[in-house]
Structure 1
Amino acid sequence: MALRVKWLVQDQGVNPEAITVITFTAEAALNMRHRLSDEEKTDVYMPRDQQPSQISTMHSLGLQIISNNYQSLGLDEKFKVLDSDSLKRLLFEDSAQLAGALRSQGIAANDIKVHGIRINKEHELYKITQYYNTILKACNFIDFDDLILLSSVLLISNAVLRAQYQGRAKHLLVDEYQDINQSQYEFIRLLADKDSSGLFAVGDDDQSIYSFRGGSPEFVRRFKEDYGEKAQILEIPLCRRCPSAVLNGALSVVTTFNPERLPKVAPTFSSTVKTPIQMLSSPSDEKEASFIAGKCSRVTPSHDVLILVPHLSFAKPIIVALRQKRVAYNCRTILAEEGFFSLDVLGHWLSNPADNLALRQTIQFLIETDNFGVPSKRVRKAEKIAEREKYLAELASLWEVVIKEKCSLYEAVKINAPKSTFIANILSALDALVTGYATPASEFIDVLRKTFLPWGKSSDMFQEISTWIDEIKGRGVAGQGTVRIMSMRLAKGLEADYVFVVGLEENVFPRQESTTTKLSEASRLFFVSMTRAKLELYLCHSRTRSASHTYLPNSYALQPSPFLSVLPKDVINKIYLPADSKVKEKK
C-alpha cells in the first residue's frame, strides 16, 4: 500500500489529495503514516506535503463525513458514538420489549446490525431497530456500526457531498478487503464512483476471519465479477516472513477446509529457515504451560514470542508458568464488565445526571444485586425467565417517557416511581447514591456497600484489583524480553520469531458445533495464527485440559484437532510429553 502511494504521487504525478487510503485498524493507519514519514525507509519515504491527508479506517472516514453534516441527520453538534457491545445489547433488548417482543429478539436484531445488513420495513425485526434508533437519537448518540450506513445515506442523498469525497478518492486504496461486510462494500462502491478505475484493493480470502461482524471472503473472491473486465488480479507469490514448512503446512489446512478458495500460484520464500513445524502433545495443560515457559525462558530476550489461544482462559496456566520462570509477558486481559467497571459507569452518571446511557447501565448493575428481587440472568426455569422479563419490561418502558416527555432517564424514573414499587425502589437507591456522592468518601463507600457493592466476596474484589493492575502494567514481571499472549483473532498483522498456538483439540478448536461455514473460517483463523511465525512454530495439543476452559464433559480424554491431521508429514516434528515429563521426539 505504501509503495502504491509513492508510485502514484512521484511516478504518476497524482495529486495526493485525490488519494484516499482505507485501513482495517487505526493502528494500521498510524503505521502507514509512520512508514511514509520514515526517512530510513527509502523505498516508501515521502515528504509530508506529498502524502495523502486521508489515511484512516473506514469508520473514521464515516465519522468525518457525519461530523461535517450532522444537521442533515437531525443530530446535535455534540453527538456521541456508542461503541460498547454490552450497552448496545442492553438497549436492543429494551427496544424488543417496547416493540412487544421478547428480549432475545433484541439480540437477534443487534446481530443483524453488527453484520452490516440493512433491515427493511417488511422484516420482522424492523420495529425493534426503529425503537433502538429512536432511543439513541433521544440521547444524542449514534451506533458505531451505523457510521458507515449513515455516511452512505449522506453521500447518496447529497450529490455535491458525494462528488467532493469521490474527488478525494479518485485513487481509493483499501487494505484487508477480504474482511469487509455488505455495508462497507456499498460504501466503497459509492466512493469509487461508477468506473472504479482508481480502486486498488489488497486482500487474501485465506485470511478472512471476521464473519462475526459480517465480513465475508465472497467480496474478494468476486472482485472481477463486481468490477468488470478491466479488473486485474495481481498475485504476490513471495513470502517474506514464514519458513517454507510453516506456510506449506498452513496452506494444506486452509485448502482442505475451504474448497471455494481462490486458486493461488505456488509460493516462493525469502526465508532460508528449514525448521519443521513442532507438534507438541502434552498430558495436561500444566505440563504444556511448563514446556512453553521453559522454551520462552531460553529464547528471550534475544527473540520475541507470540502465544495464541482460542480464548484468554487458556492462558491462565501459561501465565502461572511464565511467572515461575520469571519471564516477562504481555497479556491483554478480557476484563469483565462488572466490579470496578460498574463503579466507573456509576461515576460517569453521578458526574453527569443527564447521561441516560450511563444511568441505564447503572440501573442494570443495581438490579443484578440481591436487593430488588429480580431473578438472576442465569435462571433456566420458564416461570423465572418470565418473571425477569416482566421486571425488565418496566425498565424498558422508561424510554417511552424519555421520548415522549423529552426528559432525562432519571426524570423518567421519578415520573414512573409512583406507579410501580419496583421503580420506586430503584429511585430510592439512585437518590441515596446521588446524596452520598456529595458526602465524604467514607460515607459514600457505606452507601455503595448497602446499594451497589458488586463483589460477593472480598477475595473477588482483590482478584479483580490484581487483574486491573496486571492490565495497567501490561506485563507480568519485569526483566527479560516480552512474550505476548493473545487470542488468535487479535494476531492478524503481527509476527514473532517463535509462535505457540494452544488449544488444538478436537471440539475445542474448531468448536464441536461448527457448521461448514464456521469450520471454513476456523481453518482460516488457524492459517493466520500459523503464519505469524518467522523462525519456529509450535502447535500445541493437550490430552487433558480444564473443563472450565474447554466447556466439554470429556476434557480428560481430548483428541487432536482435525486441522492437525491434514498437515503433511514432511513438514512436522512430533514432540510427545508423557506423564513423567520426559520429552520424546518423533520425526
Structure 2
Amino acid sequence: MTEHPLLDSLNPEQREAVSAPVGHVLVLAGAGSGKTRVLVHRVAWLIGELNVKPDSILQVTFTNRAAREMRERTAGLLQGRYPPSWLGTFHSVCYRLLRSHPNAAGLESGFRILDADAQKQLVRQLLRDGQHNFSDKLEPAAGVGRISAWKDFGRAPEDVDAHLESETEAEWARLYRIYNDTCRANSWIDFGDMLSLTRDMLAGNEALLERYREQFWHILVDEFQDVNSVQYELIRLLSGLESAGVMAVGDDDQSIYSWRGASADNMMRFHEEFPDVNLVRLERNYRSTQQILNVANRLASCNRSRIGKTLTAEHSGGEAVEYVVVRDERTEAAEVVTQIKRWCSGGGSLEDVAVLYRNNVLSRSIEFALQGAGIPYIVYGGARFFERASVRDVMAYVLLAENPHDDLALRRAAMRPRRGIGERSLEKLSEQARARGVSLWQALQEAELSGRGRQGAQELVEIIRHLGALRERRPAPSALVEEALQVSGLLELYEDDEGAQEHFVELIGCADGVAEGFTDAEQDEDAVTRFLAATALDTGDQGEGEVRERIKLMTLHSAKGLEFPLVLLTALEEGILPSERSLNASEDALEEERRLLYVGITRAMRQLVLLRCQARMLYGHTSRRAGSRFVAELSGPEIQARTPQDRFDFTDSPAGGGEGNDYGLKLGDTVRHRKFGVGEVVRLEGSGEGLRVHVNFRNAGTRILMASLARLELQ
C-alpha cells in the first residue's frame, strides 16, 4: 500500500495521531515534538482524505499568532481547498457565537468588548466614583487583576465568599459586583465574559446547543493543559461527549498556569471523562540534544500528576549540561557574561542566548553585569528593573529629594499615591507655574486648592521637604530610598502587590551597591548622586531599534513556547525554585514548580547551563542559599558540575521558613504598625528578608506586610 502524501513527512507517532479513527484522541505532545505539525495535518487529513466539510471542524488555540500560523499551514497543505472557518482562539470563537446570538446571552446586538485599557479605565472610574466610597488605596490595575482571576476560576460575583479574610478583600469583592452590574447594564463584556457568557448561553439553551453539536463533528484543542475550568466546560458542552470527536493536544509536564485557572489534571481528566479515548504519545524531540532531554526526563518523572512519557532526541550528540555553583549573585552575573562571550567567540550569535529566572526581581544583577560588559539585551515580556512602575514611583520621591524642581518627578509623586490632587488640579498648577515663570514645586507650595486637594498638597510638600532635609545630610542611597517608601504612602498603595513589595526590598538592598559600582562619576560626588546617575543611564540605554542582536532575559513563564541554542538558567536555589510559597503550600504547588523548571530546561537546543549561588542578596539582605532540591533529581552522567574553590562552610539543606525568622516574630504576637495600629500575627510566610507577615489589625482588618519594610513593634 502506498503511503498517503499527507503522511510522508511525519514520523510514526505523528502519523498515528493524524490518521487516528474519528473519535476522541488525546495527543500527549512532548516539548519540541511537532504538535503544531500534527494539528494542521490532522485538519488537512479530515478535509482532504475523509471529505469532512470545513465548517464542521472547530479548532481552538490560545494565541492569535498560533491561530494565524495554523491557518496558513493548513491552507498550504490543502492546496486550494478552504481550511476551517471556525479556527481561532477561545475568545474569538466565543465572540463569534455571542455576536450571532446576543439575545440568548442576555446582551444587546451592539454589545461592546472592553479591551485591557477600557477595562482598566472602567475600574478606575468605579473606584474614584464618590457614591461607591472605595478607599483611595485601591489601585485600578490590582482591581483588574482580581476580577480577571475570579473569572479565570469561573467564579461569578455571587460565588465570591462574602466572609473574606480582610477588609481589602471584601472591597475587591464589592468592586467585582459593581463592575459586573455596570457591564451588564451597558451591554459591555470583557475577555472573561466572552467565555462564561458563551458557556452559560449554551448550557441554558438546549436548542442552540444542539444546533452547534450537530455542526461541530470534529473539535481540535491546542495546549489542552492550559485550559481553565470554563474552557473545559465549553469543550464538554459542544462535544456532548458522545457526538463530536475531540482531539486534545497538550503536555501535562508543561502545565504551569494554575494561577490562571488551569489544572495539571486536564489531560488525565480528559482521558477519564471522555469515552474510548485513543492515547498517542509524541516522544520524539526535534529541538534538544539527548543530554538535555535525559536531564528533563529524570526531573519530570518525579511528578505524580502526569500520564507519563520519555523524550528521545532526533539528533545525536550534544555537550554535557553544566551545573555551576558560584559564590553570590555578582559572580553568577559574571559567569553569565563569560558564558555569553564564550558562545559568541565560538561563532554563536547574541540572538541565540536566553537567560532565564524564576521571577523578575532576579534580573537586576544580571542587567548591570551585561551593561558593564557592553552586551545588549532585552527583558522579554516585562520592563527592566529601573523601568518597572513601582520602582519608578519610589525613584520619583528620591529625585525630588535631590531636586524638588523636577516637574516630571513631582507630577508622578502627586498621583502616586493619590492625595486628592487630580489631573485637572495639576494642569492648573502647571499653567500657573508657566505664567509666572516658576517651577511646579513653587506653584505647589503656594497652591490655593480646596478640600482634599488642599490637604493633599500640604502633605506632599511636607514629604518632599522632609526628604530634602534628609538628603542634605548625605545619607546612604538605601537609607534615602527606605525613608521615601515609609513616608510617601507607597507601601500602603502597593500592599496587595507582592511583586511591587519585592521590588521595593530589592531596591533598598541594591541601592548602595549600584552607587559603588558606578565608575563614571567624579571623585567628589556622593553616593546618592552616583546612584541617581547610574539609574538614569540604565533606563536610558538600548532604546528599541538601536541594536539588532540582543540576548533575551525572561522569566520561566515567559519562555514557554520558545527555544534557544544556549539557555542560562539562574538561581536554582531552595526558596527561589522551588519558590518559598510552594514550600509552604501543597504537593501540587511543588509539582508545578518542578514543571516550571522542566519548561526552562526544554527551551535549550544545544547547550544548557544551570547556575546556583551559595549566597545571594535578595530582598535587601544577603543570606546563605541552599541548592534547589530539584538538583538531586536532575543528577546523572550528563551533568558536569563546577564549584568555586573558595566555598562557604555550610551544607546544602532546604531553607526554613515560618516562625524561625530574624525579626523575633511568631504566631500570636501582638504588634503595632505606625499606620494600622495594634494587631495580632496570624500567619508567617517565607523567610529572611522575604518574610511576609499576616497581621489581623483591630481597626484595619488583616494585612499582609513585608517584615523588612513594615517596622512592626512587639507589644
Per-residue Cα deviation, 1:405-427 (whole angstroms, up to 9, x for no partner): xxxxxxxxxxxxxxxxxxxx55x
Alignment correspondent of 1:408: none
Alignment correspondent of 2:615: 544
Alignment correspondent of 1:412: none
SS in 2 for 1:565: helix
- Cα distance between partner residues in 1 of 2:233 and 2:317: 43
Question: How far did 1:433 drift?
Answer: 5.2
- Cα distance between partner residues in 2 of 1:323 and 1:94: 41
Equivalent residue for 2:295, pick from 242, 246, 249: 249
Alignment correspondent of 2:698: none
- Cα distance between partner residues in 1 of 2:49 and 2:437: 66
Equivalent residue for 1:3, pick from 27, 37, 41: 41
Q: Point out the more displaced range, 8-17 or 330-339.
A: 330-339
Q: Mark the CA change 1:470 to 1:68 in structure 2 (over 3 Å): closer, same or farther.
A: farther
Q: Mark the CA change 1:325 to 1:11 in structure 2 (over 3 Å): closer, same or farther.
A: farther
Alignment correspondent of 1:170: 217
On the 8 A contact 1:275/1:536 being kept in 2, the answer is yes
- Cα distance between partner residues in 2 of 1:165 and 1:466: 58
Question: How far did 1:34 drift?
Answer: 3.9
Question: How far did 1:202 drift?
Answer: 0.5
Q: Mark the CA change 1:111 to 1:121 in structure 2 (over 3 Å): closer, same or farther.
A: closer
On the 8 A contact 2:328/2:615 being kept in 1, the answer is yes
Per-residue Cα deviation, 1:162-214 (whole angstroms, up to 9, x for no partner): 45544553211101111111111111112223425421110121110000111
SS in 2 for 1:306: strand
Q: Mark the CA change 1:442 to 1:197 in structure 2 (over 3 Å): closer, same or farther.
A: farther
On the 8 A contact 1:308/1:485 being kept in 2, the answer is yes
Equivalent residue for 1:50, pick from 69, 76, 82: 82
Alignment correspondent of 1:584: none
- Cα distance between partner residues in 2 of 1:91 and 1:232: 51
SS in 2 for 1:556: strand
SS in 2 for 1:234: strand
Alignment correspondent of 2:555: 487
Q: Mark the CA change 1:442 to 1:331 in structure 2 (over 3 Å): closer, same or farther.
A: farther
- Cα distance between partner residues in 2 of 1:23 and 1:521: 22
Identity of aligned residues (%): 25
On the 8 A contact 2:319/2:606 being kept in 1, the answer is yes
**Aligned positions, number:** 488
Q: Mark the CA change 1:488 to 1:122 in structure 2 (over 3 Å): closer, same or farther.
A: closer
Alignment correspondent of 2:16: none
TM-score by length of 1: 0.71
Question: How far did 1:134 drift?
Answer: 1.4
Q: How does 1:138-177 map to 2 (within 5 A)?
A: 141-159=188-206, 161-163=208-210, 165-166=212-213, 169-177=216-224
Equivalent residue for 1:23, pick from 61, 68, 89: 61
Q: How does 1:152-231 map to 2 (within 5 A)?
A: 152-159=199-206, 161-163=208-210, 165-166=212-213, 169-228=216-275, 230-231=276-277
On the 8 A contact 1:339/1:461 being kept in 2, the answer is no
Alignment correspondent of 2:358: 310
- Cα distance between partner residues in 2 of 1:81 and 1:143: 5
Per-residue Cα deviation, 1:100-140 (whole angstroms, up to 9, x for no partner): 99979988776433323446569537866432301334566
Equivalent residue for 2:576, pick from 504, 508, 515: 508
Question: How far did 1:32 drift?
Answer: 2.1
Alignment correspondent of 2:640: 573
Per-residue Cα deviation, 1:546-566 (whole angstroms, up to 9, x for no partner): 223xx7x5x431121111122
SS in 2 for 1:272: coil
- Cα distance between partner residues in 1 of 2:71 and 2:435: 49
Equivalent residue for 2:547, pick from 478, 488, 491: 478
Alignment correspondent of 2:667: none
Q: Mark the CA change 1:60 to 1:467 in structure 2 (over 3 Å): closer, same or farther.
A: farther
- Cα distance between partner residues in 1 of 2:59 and 2:377: 34
Equivalent residue for 2:318, pick from 269, 274, 290: 274
On the 8 A contact 2:114/2:190 being kept in 1, the answer is yes
On the 8 A contact 1:116/1:184 being kept in 2, the answer is no
SS in 2 for 1:145: helix
Question: How far did 1:367 drift?
Answer: 6.0
Q: Mark the CA change 1:459 to 1:115 in structure 2 (over 3 Å): closer, same or farther.
A: farther
Per-residue Cα deviation, 1:258-290 (whole angstroms, up to 9, x for no partner): 2232133x4332021232211011112222222
Structure 1 unaligned spans of 5+: 40-44, 342-362, 373-424, 581-587
- Cα distance between partner residues in 2 of 1:460 and 1:154: 57
Q: Mark the CA change 1:434 to 1:483 in structure 2 (over 3 Å): closer, same or farther.
A: closer
Per-residue Cα deviation, 1:441-466 (whole angstroms, up to 9, x for no partner): 99999779858999989999998987
On the 8 A contact 1:20/1:171 being kept in 2, the answer is yes
- Cα distance between partner residues in 2 of 1:75 and 1:206: 42
On the 8 A contact 2:376/2:551 being kept in 1, the answer is yes
The code of the aligned residue for 2:238 comes to L
The code of the aligned residue for 1:151 comes to T
On the 8 A contact 1:294/1:325 being kept in 2, the answer is no
- Cα distance between partner residues in 2 of 1:5 and 1:465: 53
- Cα distance between partner residues in 1 of 2:68 and 2:85: 12
Q: How does 1:350-361 map to 2 (within 5 A)?
A: none
Q: How does 1:105-120 map to 2 (within 5 A)?
A: 111-118=149-156, 120=158
SS in 2 for 1:513: helix
Question: How far did 1:485 drift?
Answer: 1.4
The code of the aligned residue for 1:51 comes to P
Q: How does 1:522-533 map to 2 (within 5 A)?
A: 522-533=593-604
Alignment correspondent of 2:606: 535
Question: How far did 1:435 drift?
Answer: 6.0
SS in 2 for 1:529: helix
On the 8 A contact 1:283/1:578 being kept in 2, the answer is no
Alignment correspondent of 2:659: none
SS in 1 for 2:231: helix
Alignment correspondent of 1:375: none
Q: Mark the CA change 1:187 to 1:117 in structure 2 (over 3 Å): closer, same or farther.
A: same
Per-residue Cα deviation, 1:54-73 (whole angstroms, up to 9, x for no partner): 32211222233334444553
The code of the aligned residue for 2:574 comes to E
Q: Mark the CA change 1:148 to 1:440 in structure 2 (over 3 Å): closer, same or farther.
A: farther
On the 8 A contact 1:494/1:532 being kept in 2, the answer is yes
Alignment correspondent of 2:367: 319
On the 8 A contact 2:99/2:109 being kept in 1, the answer is no
SS in 2 for 1:510: coil
The code of the aligned residue for 1:321 comes to A
The code of the aligned residue for 2:112 comes to F
The code of the aligned residue for 1:288 comes to E
Alignment correspondent of 1:558: 625
Question: How far did 1:509 drift?
Answer: 1.3
Higher relative contact order (CA 8 A, sep 6+): 1
Question: How far did 1:50 drift?
Answer: 2.3
Q: Mark the CA change 1:339 to 1:33 in structure 2 (over 3 Å): closer, same or farther.
A: farther
SS in 2 for 1:473: coil
Q: Point out the more displaced range, 171-180 or 86-95.
A: 86-95
- Cα distance between partner residues in 2 of 1:163 and 1:184: 18
Question: How far did 1:508 drift?
Answer: 1.4
TM-score by length of 2: 0.59
Alignment correspondent of 2:343: 299
2:162 is the counterpart of 1:124: yes
- Cα distance between partner residues in 2 of 1:486 and 1:298: 21
Q: Point out the more displaced range, 442-451 or 179-188.
A: 442-451
The code of the aligned residue for 2:266 comes to F
The code of the aligned residue for 1:517 comes to D
2:86 is the counterpart of 1:63: no
Q: Mark the CA change 1:132 to 1:573 in structure 2 (over 3 Å): closer, same or farther.
A: same
- Cα distance between partner residues in 2 of 1:75 and 1:459: 59
